[in-house]
């Protein structure tokens, strides 16, 4: 794909055709420009996205994190983001980018940084390469599925016409010509597609290299097969830690410090998090607010009675919450109106208002119809938009005139229905089926006017029906003999919500509480004195947007990553005002003793109890030679368990206890174990019987299972190790 070759071929290709090909490729490239788009890559990268340190320092406004010691410049990140935001706006023909899309773009850019700085260097170290010939084969000569997807329509999944054969598959000749004829200054689109394929190929080779290094020895397989094929009967005793109260165990500061130093590896925090305690002042409507909404609903119900069916939609748009127009069909089984007289009432009858929790609702019986249970139709769509580009194609007036004209020709049998479907219809989904979607019922999902043309029609009837897509010429091919009655009901919603006065009053209460209790000690004392419910949110990450019970909490999360421990602040969220105390800061790395003192104290107490119990077991064991005798001496209960094996390692009365399970599986029959320190207490185990399975073990099958397990684990474990090596500090939330 040399520039000289492209330039020479571009001279012989019409400029308009070259641009249309380029635009098609660009449209299909989408958000994947500059990011890795395949599921494999996304899966791998998910394990790499960790949070970083909370100490912003001087880099808070200039960087968005670091990877492998490389600081990610904020301005560079923002520039990349703006490019992708602009691409998104151009594709969607509007300037609005919702929060979810914006967050997705930011995540994608961060993932690309992770690939470039944490993953790609590993490829270089291993000597992995992707050659030009290999890349050309996967992009142009024999395109991988990703490339085919980029050249296909997202709605139909079919290859776009300019790249397709008559049967709809990719035409390699057309695709090669399109690639070769791209103008030199517009190569970036193709290069982005190439980069995605290249990166994916790197990952595939790296995974293959890792998997080829995995090996299962014969001894490992034999041990696994033997353990699975053997059942044991064993008994155990255990003195649980809760047999002695914690208060009876004395713990000094030196005990805590000694345990903390010796077990520092147990207190590693893999990512930075925060914890908060808060009290919520919920904004709920007062009795006066509810009465005011009810009054409005009564007024709406009276006015609704005087509206004609043609006026209902406009009335709903004016009166319902958020202008929602809701007119639906119901049967006796699905009816939502609580008054059974609706089944005998005349169309136009209004019911309500009813207080239904979040809303006062008013219902109007708009119509009663008899519908066929199912029907089959065929149609021709005279659409308002181009089916390929979705750009405006014709006005409603022109579409109506064309549909009426075609209806006249069809009824006079001047033209053939099938011919018009192929040559005129704008519905690509049914074009190849003669305009027929097959038999359907109310649940099929067709828009109501389209569905009703069949379900309320008669066989052979042909008419023009308007929908939001344009005008349909619909012929009823068949209707079922069975029918049912439907009740069309229009609904007015009046939200029961707090007034501005109520909201301001509750805010004043929250503000006063926050002002009077602006320290950690005052906050705690006030909660106890006022008997307020304290809520907790732990493990808050820097890029969190929603917390348990707290939606739209982005500003709150920003604050907890700049505040000091013990700081108190007031936030207004959806339907509530919350007074928040920053109760915990856990930075990445070894947690300070003061932050985990309660946990360390619990572990030291458990260790001291274990030491005490071990001495009791040893003393009793000096004269007791059996498990029963040891149990009697210690006044413990013997628990027995039969048919125990590696496939079922739950311990009766304890659940999962790996120490007891592992000891039981490793002991020879008739042997009494030494005292065992477990998570639940100190135990002793005796194997009563070991019974090998009579079935001949399948060694080859077991080896395959072990190898598959290793292979499936390799992705996560290898790339998680690369994450730790790269020491990723993720502060992309600063972009918000």
Contact 371, 484 (CB under 8 A): yes
Res 592: pLDDT: 92
Q: For residue 693, name the pLDDT band (cuts at 50, 70, 90).
A: low
Burial of 583 (0-12, 13-18, 19+ CB in 10 A): buried
Residue 668 half-sphere exposure toward CB, CA atoms < 13 A: 1
Q: Residue 163 is encoded by which pair of tokens? A: 């790249």
Compute the distance between CA of residue 191 and CA of residue 195 in angstroms, rounded to an integer.
6
pLDDT at 482: 94
Find out whether 203 and 195 touch, Cβ atoms under 8 Å.
no
Q: What confidence score (pLDDT) does residue 5 get?
A: 39
The answer, yes or no, to whether residue 54 has pLDDT greater than 80, is no
DSSP string, 243-297: GS-GGGS---HHHHHHHHHHTGGGGEESS-EEEEEEEEEE----HHHHHHHHHHH
Return the closest-CA partner of residue 664 out of 682, 649, 677, 679: 649
In which element (H, E) is residue 350 found? strand 350-355
Domain boundaries, the chain: 3-212, 231-269+595-692, 277-283+500-585, 287-371, 374-481
Going 604 to 608 to 609 to 614, the CA torsion angle's sign is positive
The torsion defined by the Cα of 717, 720, 722 and 723, in degrees rounded to 10, comes to 180
CA distance 657 to 653: 10
pLDDT band, very low/low/confident/very high, at 463 (cuts 50, 70, 90):
very high
For 147, 609, 610, 669, 683, the CA distances from 618, given in Å and listed in that order, are: 70, 14, 12, 21, 12
Closest among 139, 196, 129, 128 to 1, alpha carbons compared:
139
CATH of 374-481, one of 3.10.50.40, 3.40.950.10, 3.40.50.720, 3.40.50.920: 3.10.50.40
- Position with higher pLDDT, 518 vs 200: 518
pLDDT of residue 19: 39
The DSSP output letter for 185 is G
Percent of the chain exceeding pLDDT 90 equals: 51
φ and ψ at residue 632, rounded to 5 degrees: -65, -40
CA-wise closest residue to 366 among 327, 394, 314, 403 = 327
Contact 628, 638 (CB under 8 A): yes
Query: Which ranges in 66-217 belong to alpha helices (H)?
Result: 74-92, 99-114, 120-126, 132-136, 145-150, 172-180, 188-212
Can you give the pLDDT at residue 203? 84
Residues in contact with 702: Cβ distance below 8 Å, sequence separation at least 6, in sequence order: 221, 224, 225, 228
The three-class DSSP label of residue 178 is helix
pLDDT value of position 460:
92
**What are the tens digits of pLDDT across the range 399-411?**
999 999 999 999 9
Dist CA 543 CA 103 (whole Å): 10
CA 445, 451, 455, 459 dihedral sign is negative
CA distances from 668 to 15, 232, 687 (A): 83, 10, 7
Among 22, 28, 24, 26, residue whose Cα is nearest residue 10: 22
Cα distances from 442 to residues 270, 449, 455, 457, in angstroms, run 53, 11, 8, 14
d(CA 454, CA 521): 71
Decide: pTM greater than 0.75.
Answer: no
pLDDT-based confidence at residue 112 (cuts at 50, 70, 90) = confident
């Amino acid at each position: 794909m040399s520039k000289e070759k492209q330039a020479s071929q571009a001279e012989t290709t019409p400029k308009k055709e070259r641009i249309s090909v380029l635009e098609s490729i660009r449209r299909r490239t989408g958000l994947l420009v500059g990011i890795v788009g395949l599921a494999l890559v996304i899966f791998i990268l998910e394990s790499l996205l960790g949070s970083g340190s909370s100490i912003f320092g001087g880099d808070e406004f200039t960087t968005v994190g670091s990877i492998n010691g490389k600081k990610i410049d904020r301005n560079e990140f923002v520039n990349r983001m703006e490019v992708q935001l602009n691409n998104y706006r151009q594709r969607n023909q509007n300037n609005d980018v919702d929060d979810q899309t914006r967050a997705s773009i930011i995540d994608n850019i961060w993932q690309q940084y992770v690939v470039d700085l944490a993953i790609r260097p590993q490829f270089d170290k291993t000597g992995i390469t992707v050659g030009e010939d290999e890349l050309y084969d996967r992009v142009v000569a024999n395109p991988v599925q990703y490339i085919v997807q980029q050249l296909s329509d997202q709605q139909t999944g079919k290859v776009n016409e300019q790249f397709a054969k008559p049967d709809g598959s990719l035409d390699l000749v057309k695709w090669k010509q399109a690639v070769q004829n791209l103008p030199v200054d517009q190569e970036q689109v193709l290069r982005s597609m190439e980069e995605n394929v290249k990166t994916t190929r790197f990952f595939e080779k790296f995974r293959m290299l890792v998997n080829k290094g995995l090996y299962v020895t014969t001894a490992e397989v034999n041990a696994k097969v033997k353990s699975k094929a053997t059942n044991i009967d064993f008994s155990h005793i255990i003195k649980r830690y809760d047999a002695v109260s914690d208060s009876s165990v004395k713990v000094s500061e030196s005990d805590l410090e000694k345990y903390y130093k010796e077990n520092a590896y147990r207190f590693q925090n893999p990512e930075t998090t925060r914890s908060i305690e808060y009290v919520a002042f919920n904004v709920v409507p007062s009795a006066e607010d509810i009465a005011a909404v009810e009054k409005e609903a009564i007024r709406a119900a009276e006015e609704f009675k005087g509206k004609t069916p043609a006026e209902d939609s406009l009335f709903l748009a004016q009166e319902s919450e958020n202008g929602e127009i809701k007119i639906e069909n119901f049967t006796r089984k699905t009816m939502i109106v609580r008054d059974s007289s609706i089944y005998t009432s005349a169309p136009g009858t209004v019911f309500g208002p009813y207080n239904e929790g979040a809303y006062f609702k008013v219902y109007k019986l708009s119509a009663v119809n008899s519908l066929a249970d199912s029907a089959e139709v065929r149609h021709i769509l005279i659409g308002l938009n181009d089916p390929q580009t979705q750009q405006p194609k014709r006005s409603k007036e022109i579409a109506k005139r064309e549909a009426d004209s075609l209806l006249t020709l069809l009824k006079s049998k001047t033209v053939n229905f099938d011919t018009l479907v192929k040559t005129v219809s704008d519905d690509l989904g049914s074009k190849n089926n003669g305009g027929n979607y097959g038999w359907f019922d109310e649940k099929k999902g067709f828009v109501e006017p389209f569905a009703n043309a069949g379900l309320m029609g008669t066989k052979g009837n042909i008419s023009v029906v308007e929908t939001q897509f344009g005008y349909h010429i619909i012929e009823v091919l068949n209707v079922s003999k069975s029918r049912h009655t439907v009740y069309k009901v229009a609904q007015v919603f009046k939200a029961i919500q707090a007034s501005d006065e109520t909201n301001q009053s509750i805010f004043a209460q929250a503000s006063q509480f926050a002002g009077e209790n602006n320290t950690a000690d005052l906050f705690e004392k006030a909660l106890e004195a006022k008997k307020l419910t304290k809520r907790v949110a732990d493990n808050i990450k820097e890029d969190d947007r929603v917390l348990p019970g707290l939606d739209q909490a982005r500003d709150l999360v920003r604050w907890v990553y700049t505040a000091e421990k013990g700081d108190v602040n007031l936030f207004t969220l959806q339907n509530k005002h919350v007074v928040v105390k920053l109760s915990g800061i856990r930075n990445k790395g070894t947690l300070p003793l003061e932050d985990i003192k309660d946990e360390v104290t619990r572990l030291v107490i458990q260790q001291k109890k274990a030491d005490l119990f071990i001495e009791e077991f040893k003393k009793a064991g000096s004269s007791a030679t059996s498990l029963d005798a040891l149990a009697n001496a210690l006044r413990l209960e013997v628990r027995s368990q039969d048919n125990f094996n590696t496939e079922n390692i739950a311990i009766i009365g304890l659940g999962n206890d790996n120490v007891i399970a592992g000891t039981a599986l490793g002991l020879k029959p008739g042997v009494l174990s030494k005292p065992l320190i477990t998570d639940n207490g100190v135990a002793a185990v005796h194997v009563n019987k070991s019974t090998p399975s009579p079935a001949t073990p399948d060694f080859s099958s077991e080896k395959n299972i072990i190898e598959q397990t290793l292979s499936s684990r390799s992705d996560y474990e290898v790339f998680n190790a690369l994450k730790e090596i790269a020491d990723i500090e993720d502060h992309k939330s600063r972009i918000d």
